[in-house]
Chains A and B, each alone.
Chain A
Amino acid sequence: MRKYMVIYRSVLLENLQYAANVAMGFLGYFVFIFIFVKLWGYMYRTPEELIAGYTKEQMIWYVMMTEMLFFGSNAASVAREVAGDIRGGNIAYLMNRPYHYTLYILAKYTGEWSVRLPMYVALAVVIGMVMVGPLPHFRLTAVWAMALCVILGLTINAVFKMCISLFSFWIEDATPFQWLYDKLILVVGILFPVEIFPQTLQPLLKLTPIYTVCYGPAKLIVDFSPEKCLEILVVQILYLMVGCEMMFLIYRKGVKKLYVNGG
Chain B
Amino acid sequence: MLTAVKNQLRVCLLSLKYNIMREMVNKVTFLTNVCFMVLNNAALLVQWFILFRLREDVGGYTLREIMLLWGLTAASFGLSHILFARVFSLSELIIKGKLDAYLVQPKNVLVSVITSSTDISAIGDLLYGVALACACSPGIGGFFLFLLFTVTGTIVFTAFALLIGSLSFWFLRMDMLENQAVMGMISFATYPDGIFQGISRFLLYYIIPVGMAVWHPVHMINSFHAGTLFTVLGYALLLLTAAVCVFYRGLRKYSSGNLMTARM
> Which of A25, A41, A187 contacts B44 (CB under 8 A)?
A187
Distance (Å) between the CB of B198 and the closest chain A CB? 11
The chain B residue sitting closest to A41, CB to CB, is B195
Q: Across the interface, which residues of A come within 8 angstroms of B39, CB to CB? A: 180
Q: Which one, A76-84, A120-128, A170-178, A213-221, is touching chain B?
A: A170-178
Q: Is the CB of B176 within 8 A of A32?
A: no
* Interface membership of A179, Cβ < 8 A: yes
Interface residues of B in 126-181 (CB under 8 A from A): 173, 176-177, 180-181
User: How far apart are the CA atoms of A109 and B73 in the complex, in Å?
Assistant: 33
**Is A183 an interface position by the 8 A CB rule?**
yes
Q: How far is the CB of B73 from chain A (nearest CB, A)?
A: 14
- A170-220 residues at the B interface, CB under 8 angstroms: 171-173, 175-177, 179-180, 183-184, 186-188, 191-192, 196-197
Say whether A51 faces chain B, with CB atoms less than 8 Å apart.
yes
Q: Decide if B51 touches A43 in the complex (CB within 8 Å).
A: yes
**Inter-chain CB contacts under 8 Å: number:** 84
The reply to whether B32 and A176 form a contact with Cβ atoms under 8 Å apart is: yes
What residues of A have a CB within 8 angstroms of the CB of B195 in the complex? 35, 38-39, 41-42
Interface size for B (C-beta < 8 A) is 35
Interface residues of A in 20-65 (CB under 8 A from B): 21, 24-25, 27-28, 31-32, 34-35, 38-39, 41-43, 51
A34 partner residues in chain B, CB cutoff 8 A? 200
- Asked whether B51 lies within 8 Å of A172 as measured between CB atoms, the reply is no
State the main secondary structure of chain B at its contact with A: helix
Chain A residues, CB < 8 A from B180: 24-25, 27-28, 31
Does B187 count as interface, using CB distance less than 8 angstroms? yes
CB distance from A166 to the nearest CB of B (A): 16
A76 to chain B, nearest CB (A): 13
Q: Is the CB of B176 within 8 A of A35?
A: no
Closest to B34 in A: A176
Query: What are 12 contact pairs spanning A and B, CB under 8 A?
Result: A24-B180, A31-B180, A31-B184, A39-B58, A171-B32, A175-B33, A176-B32, A176-B36, A179-B36, A180-B39, A192-B47, A192-B50
